Amino acid sequence: MEFINHTIDWCKGEIFEGRMILLLGIFVLAVSLVYWKFGSTPQAMALLLLGLTVYWIDHFCEQRAEVYHSRILKALG
């Protein structure tokens, strides 16, 4: 039974990590929007595309991880 408890704790930790990565993606997107809005160089304004890409990848990976780990938690009871 101890192994199952460790596995459940691991899944919860992975979900927490995914949420933290999502918050980082939102932060990068917000910074990119600020650079796009107030930046005066083309490079600063181009960071919007980078921010959107990072946010989308983080959001997609976090969703997939939550689905995967919720299936594991259901299977374990």
Based on the number of CB atoms within 10 Å of its own CB, is 32 exposed (0-12), middle (13-18) or buried (19 or more)?
Answer: buried
Please give the Cα distance from 62 to 14 (Å, whole number). Answer: 9
pLDDT at 60: 76
Question: Using one digit for the tens of pLDDT, what is the confidence trace for 9-53?
Answer: 888 888 888 888 888 878 877 887 888 888 788 877 777 777 778
- Say what the pTM is: 0.58
Q: Are 22 and 57 in contact (CB under 8 A)?
A: no
